[in-house]
Every structure is written in structure tokens, then in C-alpha cells.
A = this chain, B = another copy of it.
Amino acid sequence: MERVNRLRVREYGIIIGEYCIGPKNSISDVKGVKVGHYTLIRGEGKLVPGHGPVRTGVTVIFPNDNIYRNKVIAAYHVINGFGKPIGLLQVGELGLLESPIGLTNTLNIGIVADALIEYTIRSNSDIDVYTFNPVVLECNDSYLNDIQGRHVRHNHVFKAIENLSNEVVEGSVGAGTGMVSFGFKGGIGTSSRKLSGKLGGYTVGVLVLTNFGYMKDLRINGVPVGLELRKFFRKDIEKNDGSVIVIVATDAPLNSRQLRRLAKRACNGISRVGGISSHGSGEFVLAFSTRNTVSYNDIVLFDETILNDAYLSPLFRAVIEATEEAVLNSLFKSETMKGRDNHIVYGIPIDKVLEILDSHGLVR
């Protein structure tokens, strides 16, 4: 029933939005951005808290090679604050990100934060790292994973960092390993948009960790795919109340106020695929620009080039389109997974989806 090779939505001719994608259609199209995963899949059958089965992992996003030294301008937005992010308030106050971004499961945030602290101390041993603001975001993978076990350990974070690459692997990998979205298997997805030269030529990349949405609400390019799929799938997984994390990267010359405006548009993208930001869905957005890095202890005055706000709308649209497509990629790239207590979450049935889309004459 399942495809051997699950492709990204665009490879099936499903085109989201009007803007061009970047070369990799990935957050790594923003130069310097790299992503690394470490995936933990261990054990089967009945849940024994602390002992598995394990379906979880960690994902790290690096805006550049040494973010502690070359801090980037950043901002965050809370769509729905039922979640446990670490580090966002300082990002808001200073407009700076100085940490790799860690993604993991809800109960593993403490360990991953500590691992990022350790990593930052070690990789900057020539300077005295006496303060550091680790950034970790999370979704809840407890439907498939022994979440109480906090199975992501320090060395898994370090291995994820070793795995850093500008080739971003999607689907049930890293932090996405145990996630559920729209009743199907969710996880990591990414997408990008490259503005035309006339609009500034900037790149916007988005990476999502999807664990949100009710099957009945899923829309692809507006087609109510979820309503039709629901006839074939049982309902109970939909109880899982979810969460979604959206990371927005750009090379546009923006300050933190403007990045916050970009971050807010992730909500529009999430809504287009059918998200309702339900009570229990922790939805957080972190946006950064790789332009204008800051080594903030060095100099008194910066010279910054900043885009006029009047030219932001294309960047807003790019965020919306890339968020929408990244969510769909996370679904398309995630295979069926069986987890704790033999809970099964199916990969979205691509053939069936394509059939539905064709029947509405909307794509390809």
C-alpha cells in the first residue's frame, strides 16, 4: 500500500503559491544554514515508561558555523503558547539569536538545552562563555514514543551536530521521528522561496516540525483532501492535540521588528493547510536573518542596511507559501510508523491524495 519512494509534493506536480523556489527548495537555500538530525528508534510493543519503545530524536539548525560568535538578528512569534520553548524571551529583548536551534520532544527540552550549553562552551573554549541563551523548541511525540524516558541524551545532540548538512532530510527523522500531523505521520519538512530580482532577490527558507492538525481539516492547495481521506482512516489519532514549530530563515536585510512581522505570517501558511491552532497545539515561530551578523561584544556602532517595510509584502508571501509547502513535505516524506503500545500512524497515502487532487482538477 505504501510507496517505496516518497517524494516531495512538488515532485508530484503540486505547486504551492506563485513564487519560485530556491535551488534546493529548502531552508538551506539561505546561504550558511545547515540542518542535522539524530533519530532514535528502539524497541517495540507495550510502553514501559523510561524503557521504550523509543520513537524520537533531535534536530539542530545552524544559521551559520559559529552562531555564538556571529549572532544573527532574530525574532519570535507565539501563535498559540501551549508549548515549552526555551530561549525566546531573550531573542525578543535583544533581537539576537546566539544559539543553534534545537528541536526535540516536549520532555527532552532540558537535556537538549544543556547539551547546547555544553557544545557552545566546548566550541568556544578560547573565550569565556559565562552566559549563553540556548534555544530549544519542541512538539509532543507521546503517541508513538516513551516520552517520559527523555531518551535524547547529550551525545545524540552532538551527533546531530556532526550530521549538519545543507541537504536537509525530511520526514520522520530527528525531532520529527515520532510526530503526528493531520492524523498522519508528520515530522520535518522544508521549503524555500526565491524572490525575483525586482523584489530584491532575497531567499526565504522555512523548516517545520509538524505535529498538529485534524485529518478532516487538511487542505492541499485548497482541496479538502482531509475530508475525503477521513472516510478511510479511523478517528482516534485526531485526539492528539499537536503543535507545530516553524523556523524562518532569510538573507533579506531585516531588523528584529521586521523579522517578527515575517514570523507572524507563518500563521497564514498554517491556516492554508487547515490548521486551526487548537487549544493544545503549541505553535511557535522563530525567524532570523543571516545578513548583518553581530559579534555584539566588540564594537560600539553598527552600520546596517535595512529594507524599507513598504517592501516586506513579498517576503510575507514567501513565508506563507514556504510554510504551507514545508508542512506538506513533512507529510509526504513521512512513512507509516508503529510505536509504543503498537500505535500505528500511517504515512499519508500519496496515491490516494493525488487521485483526490486530480478529481478536483486543481493540480498538475
Per-position binary interface string of chain A over residues 131-160, scored 1 when its CB falls under 8 Å from any chain B CB and 0 otherwise: 111100000101000011010000000000
A110 to chain B, nearest CB (A): 3
Which residues of chain A from 277 to 330 have any CB-CB distance to chain B below 8 Å in the complex?
A: 277-280, 282, 284, 294, 296-297, 299-313, 316-317, 320
Q: Which residue of B lies closest to A256 (CB)?
A: B257
Contact of A130 among B81, B131, B147 (CB under 8 A): B147
Which residues of chain A from 98 to 154 have any CB-CB distance to chain B below 8 Å in the complex?
A: 106-107, 109-118, 121, 129-134, 140, 142, 147-148, 150
Contacts of A147 in B (CB 8 A): 130
Majority SS at the chain A contact face: mixed
Kindly state whether residue A224 has any CB partner on chain B within 8 Å.
yes
- On whether A113 and B106 interact (CB within 8 A), knowing A276-B313, A276-B320, the answer reads no
- What bracket does the count of chain A residues touching chain B fall in? 35 or more
Max chain B CB contacts within 10 Å: which of A79, A93, A111, A277? A93
Q: Are B296 and A306 neighbours in the complex by a CB distance under 8 Å? A: no
Q: Are B80 and A89 neighbours in the complex by a CB distance under 8 Å? A: no
Kindly state whether residue A83 has any CB partner on chain B within 8 Å.
yes
Kindly state whether residue A163 has any CB partner on chain B within 8 Å.
no
Contacts of A134 in B (CB 8 A): 84, 109-110
Max chain B CB contacts within 10 Å: which of A131, A134, A256, A360? A131
Contacts of A86 in B (CB 8 A): 84, 86, 109-110, 113
Kindly state whether residue A272 has any CB partner on chain B within 8 Å.
yes
A232, B129: Cα distance in complex, Å: 31
A271, B222: Cα distance in complex, Å: 11
Kindly state whether residue A261 has any CB partner on chain B within 8 Å.
yes
Among A164-172, A188-196, A262-270, the stretch that binds chain B is: A262-270
A69 to chain B, nearest CB (A): 15
Q: Which residue of B lies closest to A115 (CB)?
A: B110
Q: Are A131 and B140 neighbours in the complex by a CB distance under 8 Å? A: yes
Q: How many copies, total?
A: 4
Q: Which residue of B lies closest to A141 (CB)?
A: B130
A201, B26: Cα distance in complex, Å: 45
Per-position binary interface string of chain A over residues 313-349, scored 1 when its CB falls under 8 Å from any chain B CB and 0 otherwise: 1001100100000000000000000000000000000
- On whether A279 and B129 interact (CB within 8 A), knowing A83-B90, A134-B110, A222-B222, the answer reads no
Contacts of A117 in B (CB 8 A): 107, 110, 150
Per-position binary interface string of chain A over residues 178-207, scored 1 when its CB falls under 8 Å from any chain B CB and 0 otherwise: 000000000000000000000010000000
A362, B278: Cα distance in complex, Å: 25
Q: Are B107 and A110 neighbours in the complex by a CB distance under 8 Å? A: no
A328 to chain B, nearest CB (A): 14
Q: Are B111 and A312 neighbours in the complex by a CB distance under 8 Å? A: no
Contacts of A129 in B (CB 8 A): 148
Contact of A312 among B148, B224, B279 (CB under 8 A): B279
A93, B84: Cα distance in complex, Å: 11
Kindly state whether residue A39 has any CB partner on chain B within 8 Å.
no
A72 to chain B, nearest CB (A): 14
A138, B362: Cα distance in complex, Å: 36
